[in-house]
Amino acid sequence: MKTLPKERRYETLSYLPPLTDQQIVKQIQYILDQGFIPAVEFEENPKPTDHYWTLWKLPLFSASTPQDVLAEVRECRSEYPSYYIRVIGFDNIKQCQTMSFIVHKPNTGRF
């Protein structure tokens, strides 16, 4: 059995190999299908105790397709290539964040 390399882990999906754009689109589609509001956040050196990251623009209230959100992820990635970037989903009924996942880690290209 092979163990994972020693590195800091974030969120549930950070234990998986880097997500492709197609896999990111599927996760974003789930957010939209559930009626959650997507948003993109970034942080230079997040710690496990950091619950709040910097919000990239406003939440994407008008996003109707995963491509709308993915375009913002790409824009954030090009603006902050050395930062961690995640997509989050807000439930406007419960007034809370319901899910999040890392879409970019610095020095690894993608995830």
What is the pTM (predicted TM-score) of this model?
A: 0.84
Beta bridge partners of 97: 90
Mean pLDDT, residues 9-21 taken together: 75
Confirm whether 8 is domain-assigned. Answer: no
Domain extent for 26 = 21-104
| Domain count within the chain | 1
* 37-43: strand order across its sheet: 54-56, 37-43, 84-91, 96-104
Confirm whether 63 is domain-assigned. Answer: yes
The whole-number pLDDT of residue 86 equals: 92
Residue 3 has pLDDT above 80, yes or no: no
Residue 29 has pLDDT above 60, yes or no: yes
User: HSE (CB half, 13 Å, CA atoms) of 17?
Assistant: 3
Confirm whether 42 is domain-assigned. Answer: yes
Residue 72 has pLDDT above 90, yes or no: yes
**For the domain that residue 72 is a member of, what is the CATH number?**
3.30.190.10
Beta bridge partners of 98: none
Mean pLDDT, residues 74-102 taken together: 93
- Give me 38's structure tokens: 């997507």
Mean pLDDT, residues 82-106 taken together: 92
Q: Among 22-26, 37-41, 99-103, whose mean pLDDT is lowest?
A: 99-103
Confirm whether 62 is domain-assigned. Answer: yes
Confirm whether 72 is domain-assigned. Answer: yes
